[in-house]
Amino acid sequence: MRLPLEGRAFVVIGGTSGLGLSAVRALVGSDARVVSVGRDPEKAAVLRQELGAAGRVLAGDAVDPTTAESAITECLGSFGRFDGLYHVAGGSGRRFGDGSLHAISDEGWDRTLELNLKSIFLSNRAAVRRFLELKQRGSVVNCGSVLGYSPTPHFFTTHAYAAAKAALIGLTRSAAAHYAGNDIRFNVVAPALVATPMSRRAQESPEIQAFIRTKQPLDGGRMGVPEDLDAAVLWLLSEASRFVTGQVISVDGGWTVSEGQIPQSDKSP
List the catalytic residues. Answer: 161
Interatomic CA distance for residues 157 and 75, integer angstroms? 38
Interatomic CA distance for residues 11 and 124, integer angstroms? 11
Interatomic CA distance for residues 129 and 53, integer angstroms? 27
pLDDT at residue 268, rounded to an integer? 43
Q: Which domains does the chain have, with CATH numbers?
A: 9-254 (3.40.50.720)
Exposure class string for 186-205: b at 16+ Cβ within 10 A, else e: bbbbbbbbbbbebbeebbee
Spatial contact of 105 and 162, defined as CB atoms under 8 Å apart: no
Question: Which of 90, 83, 87, 85 has the alpha carbon at shortest distance from 11?
Answer: 85
Q: Is 115 exposed, middle or buried (0-12, 13-18, 19+ CB in 10 A)?
A: buried
Q: Block means of pLDDT (10 residues each) for the chain, length 269 residues?
A: 86 97 97 97 96 97 98 98 98 94 97 98 98 98 97 92 98 98 98 86 87 94 96 97 98 94 56
- For the entire predicted model, the pTM comes to 0.94
**DSSP tally for the chain: helices H, then strands E:** 9, 7
Question: Which of 166, 248, 259, 153 has the alpha carbon at shortest distance from 216?
Answer: 259
pLDDT at residue 196, rounded to an integer? 83
Half-sphere exposure of 132 (CA within 13 A, CB side): 10
Interatomic CA distance for residues 76 and 93, integer angstroms? 33
With H, G, I as helix, E, B as strand and everything else as coil, classify residue 82. Answer: coil
Distances (CA, A) of 201 to 38, 67, 77, 189: 22, 29, 40, 23
pLDDT at residue 1, rounded to an integer? 52
